[in-house]
Structures are given as C-alpha cells and as structure tokens.
C-alpha cells in the first residue's frame, strides 16, 4: 500500500492526530512499539499564520519519526491554504486536512467536522490546498454531520477527484462525537467502491488486537488508525502486530516494563515541555499505564496530582516494589 511515495507493508497501523496527546514524547514511545505512521497534534491555521509559539511548536518533528503527517484545521479558505504552505516548510511526509474533529469549539465555527455541513466548500478547500503545495495531501473526516446526512460515500469520490492521496474515515457522525459504537459499514462501502483508487484508512473503536483483525478482514481497509486506545497503552501497536502475524495474543506487559516505559516517557516529556508542563501532560498517560492493578486507587491519585518529577519517579519506584510481580 502506498500513500504518495511512502510504501507500507501489509496491515499498517497509524497513530491518530490528537490535540495535547500526540506530542513528540508520546510519538517517541508509539514509534518504539511499531506505529507505521504518526501524526502530530493538529494545528490551527490561524495560529500558524499569527506565528503563535505553541502552535508552531507542534510542528517540530525528528528524523526518526518519518513517515509522519502534520494535520491542519480551519474554516476559512485563504488561511488554510497559507497554513498548508507554512506546514510544507516543516517537511512532513503528508499534510492532512482535519475535517473530522467533533469538538464544539472547532466544529461550531465550521472547522473540523463542521465542514461536513458544507461539502462543496470542503472539496474546494481540499483542491486548492492540493494545488498550493508539493507535499502529498490527505484528509481525515467522518461519515457525515448527523444520522440524516451520512454523505461519505459520494464525498470520498469528490475528495479523491480533488487530488488527495489517501482518506481516513472515522466511523461516527459529528453529532455522535465519541458516543455509541463506531459504524464501519460505510467505511467498507467506500473501500469497495470501484471508483476509489486511493488508500482508505479506517478509524474508530480499535481497542484490541482481535478488533483490529476483524476490521481488516471484514472491511478490507488499507490501514487502521488508532486514537484513544493508545492513552497509557502505546504498546497496543506491538500487541496488534503480533496478533496479525501469529494469531496469538501477547501476555499483558509486566509492571516492571511499564514502570521503565513510564520513566522513559516522562523523561522525554520533560525534555520537550519543561518541568511543569512536562509533568502535567503526562498525567493522562500515567493514569492509564497501571489501571489494571488491584488496590491502586490511592497510588493513582498520588501519581496524577504530583507536580515534582522526582517525586513522580519515586511513586513509580513504589509501584514497581508494590506490584512488581504483576
């Protein structure tokens, strides 16, 4: 399977772009566990144009991360085109257009999945961005705005005709946000459409090796993108790859390995974000690294409220001492 000049082996697994999640430190550990392609946190077009420090920083990528995409969002035509040109200078392998984010502060302005209400504008914006840059352009979107407007099958053809080289589809409407169960039926219909020649990447509710295999087999997608299931569980990429290759499940990661990983992840986060922010942005991950442990509530509360990185490491050492046999 190819996305522009990038060649992937069978059953590629992608890390979804997630704001305040897929920073460089988290991408580092996901790459370690076998993510075939990753995306930065999505970046706002207007923030790039204003040269906002926090927005520009999201585009910092390292050589070992390739292939990697940078995703942009916005609702105005010219700023999105200008933002794509700015992103191109960071030398990602693809520029991805975010037509899928369902969060109210984004969608209500007509950006992200809010663009599903204006498919003509979506297609025109895509075409003009493709024409404005030399980097391959991809799109991530949803089934439609709501249950009564699932337009993805026709829209996929139009986006392909606009020049994108791959399409990622999340199996929910904007109205669902992340509620209910992702419906992959229309993702499969897009993939089976004989007019579609570009890779189709499925996204939504991939949370286990068995689920990934079922979705690959049933819907024939070219790749699977994993988002929320990676929180505190970046080794899910290794688990899925092992299952797809062998048909057997890996045992749960031992606590000792999880503690070592948490320390490495924390170290990378501190390097990237500094002491305060580096600790704060680790909390969503640390709270999940050890969620299966018995009688862990009190230790978890300490782990996700401590601001001193040395004390966080001490808590991790205690976890190894207390639960090291798991």
* Catalytic residue annotation: 101
Residue 202, helix vs strand vs coil: strand
DSSP single-letter state for residue 64: G
Question: Which of 113, 67, 109 lies closest to 91, judged by CA?
Answer: 67
pLDDT at 53: 85
Per-residue pLDDT of the chain (326 residues; tens, 9 = 90+): 999 999 999 999 999 999 989 999 999 999 999 999 999 999 999 999 898 888 888 999 999 999 999 999 999 999 999 999 999 999 999 999 999 999 988 998 899 999 999 999 999 999 999 999 999 999 999 999 999 999 999 999 999 999 999 999 999 999 999 999 999 999 999 999 999 999 999 999 999 999 999 999 999 999 999 999 999 899 999 999 999 999 999 999 999 999 999 999 999 999 999 999 999 999 889 889 998 899 999 999 999 999 999 999 999 999 999 998 88
Cα 164 from Cα 123, distance rounded (Å)? 10
CB–CB of 269/25 below 8 Å? yes
Tell me if the bond preceding 67 is cis, omega within 30° of 0: yes
* 255-323 maps to CATH 1.20.58: no
CB–CB of 171/204 below 8 Å? yes
b/e map 75-101, b = 16+ CB within 10 Å: bbeebbbbbbebbeebebbbbbbbbbb
Q: Which residue has the tokens 């009564």?
A: 148
- pTM metric for this prediction: 0.95
Q: Residues 34, 36, 41, CA angle at the centre, nearest 5°? A: 100
Structural domain 2-246, CATH architecture: Alpha-Beta Barrel (3.20)
Cα 67 from Cα 92, distance rounded (Å)? 8
Each domain of the chain, given as residue ranges in start order, spans 2-246, 255-323
């Amino acid at each position: 399977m190819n996305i522009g000049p990038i060649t992937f082996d069978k059953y590629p697994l992608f890390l979804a772009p997630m704001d305040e999640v897929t920073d460089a430190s988290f991408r580092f550990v996901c790459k370690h566990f076998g993510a075939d392609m990753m995306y930065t946190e999505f970046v706002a077009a207007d923030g790039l144009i204003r040269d906002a420090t926090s927005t520009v920083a999201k585009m910092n990528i390292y050589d070992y991360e390739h292939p990697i995409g940078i995703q942009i969002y916005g609702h105005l035509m010219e700023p999105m085109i200008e933002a794509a040109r700015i992103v191109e200078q960071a030398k990602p392998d693809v520029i991805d257009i975010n037509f899928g984010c369902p969060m109210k502060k984004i969608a209500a302005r007509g950006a992200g999945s809010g663009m599903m209400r204006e498919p003509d504008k979506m297609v025109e914006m895509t075409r003009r961005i493709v024409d404005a840059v030399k980097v391959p352009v991809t799109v991530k979107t949803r089934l439609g705005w709501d249950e009564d407007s699932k337009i993805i099958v026709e829209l996929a053809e139009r986006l392909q005709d606009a020049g994108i080289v791959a399409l990622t589809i999340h199996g929910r409407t904007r109205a669902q946000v992340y509620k209910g169960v992702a419906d992959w039926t229309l993702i499969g219909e897009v993939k089976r459409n004989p007019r579609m020649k570009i890779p189709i990447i499925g996204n939504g509710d991939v949370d286990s090796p068995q689920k990934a295999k079922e979705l690959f087999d049933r819907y024939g997608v070219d790749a699977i993108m994993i988002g929320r299931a990676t929180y505190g569980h970046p080794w899910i990429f290794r688990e899925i790859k092992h299952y797809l290759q062998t048909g057997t499940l890996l045992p749960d990661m031992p606590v000792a390995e999880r503690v070592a990983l948490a320390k490495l992840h924390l170290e990378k986060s501190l390097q990237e974000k500094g002491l305060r922010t580096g600790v704060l942005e680790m909390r969503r991950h640390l709270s999940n690294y050890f969620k299966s442990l018995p009688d862990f509530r009190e230790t978890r509360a300490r782990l996700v409220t401590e601001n001193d990185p040395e004390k966080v490491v001490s808590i991790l050492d205690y976890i190894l001492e207390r639960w090291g046999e798991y």
